[in-house]
Amino acid sequence: MDNQKDKKNALQGLFSTSDPFIKSIVEPFLQSEPVKQIMGDLNNFLQNSIQMNSMDIKTNEEKGYFIIEVTLPAGINRENIELDVKDQVLTITFLHEEEREIIHEPTATFNKSLKVSHLTRSLLLPFPAERKDLTVLYQQKVLLIKLPNNRKSG
C-alpha cells in the first residue's frame, strides 16, 4: 500500500509546477504569443458556440391572441430568420454567418475564420394556423410572434 502512495507522490512531483526545470519550460511556452492567441481563439469559439446554439421560447395567451416570444443570440439579423407554419407546427430557423480576419504583425500571423450557425426549433401550436395569420416583430434579440386564437370551441 505504501508503495502505491510513493508512486502517486512521485508522479505528482514529476508534473508539479513547483519544479524549477518544468516551470522553466512550461511557463514560457504558455506565455508565448502564438499559444495565447490559440487559447484565446479556442475560448472564443467555445463561448460563441454555446451562445449561438440557443433559442429561448416562451408562450402566452392573452386577449384573444397566442403570443410566442423567442430570444435569439446577439448578431442575428431579421433577414436570417425564417418562419414556416404547417397545420399546428411553427418552425423557426436562423442562419448566421460571421467572417473574421485577424492580422497580428508582431508575430507575422494571419487568422481567417468563417463561423456558420444554423438552428431550427419547432413548436406545436394549440390550433392550426397559416403563415398569413402571423404578426411578427423583431427587435433587440427578441422575436415576437402573435397570432389570433383560432381555437374551435366544442
The answer to the question of residue 14 being in a domain is: yes
- What residues make up the domain containing 140? 55-148
The answer to the question of residue 92 being in a domain is: yes
Residues 65 and 101 in one domain: yes
Q: Which amino acid is at 95?
A: L
Residues 83 and 115 in one domain: yes
At 97-140, the pLDDT tens digits run 878 888 878 877 778 877 777 888 999 999 999 999 999 999 88
The answer to the question of residue 154 being in a domain is: no
Closest CA to 58 of 50, 49, 48, 66: 66
pLDDT of residue 51: 52
The answer to the question of residue 9 being in a domain is: yes
Query: CA-to-CA distance for 118 and 90, rounded, in angstroms?
Result: 17
Q: Residue 43 above 60 pLDDT?
A: yes
pLDDT of residue 32: 78
Residues 40 and 59 in one domain: no
43: enclosing H helix or E strand: helix 33-52
User: Lowest-confidence range among 8-17, 63-72, 105-114?
Assistant: 8-17
Domain count for the chain, please give it.
2
pLDDT of residue 76: 82
Residues 62 and 104 in one domain: yes
DSSP three-state, residue 104 = strand
Q: Give, as one character, the DSSP assignment of residue 127.
A: S
Q: Residue 58 above 80 pLDDT?
A: yes
Q: Is 68 exposed, middle or buried (0-12, 13-18, 19+ CB in 10 A)?
A: buried
Q: Where are the beta strands (DSSP E) in the chain?
A: 56-62, 65-71, 81-86, 89-104, 109-124, 135-139, 142-148
Closest CA to 121 of 48, 72, 79: 72
Selection from 28-42, 43-57, 111-125 with the highest mean pLDDT:
111-125
55-64 mean pLDDT: 89
Residues in the chain, total: 154
Q: What is the CATH number of the domain that holds 132?
A: 2.60.40.790
The answer to pTM > 0.75 is no
pLDDT class for 52, splitting at 50, 70, 90? low
The answer to the question of residue 153 being in a domain is: no
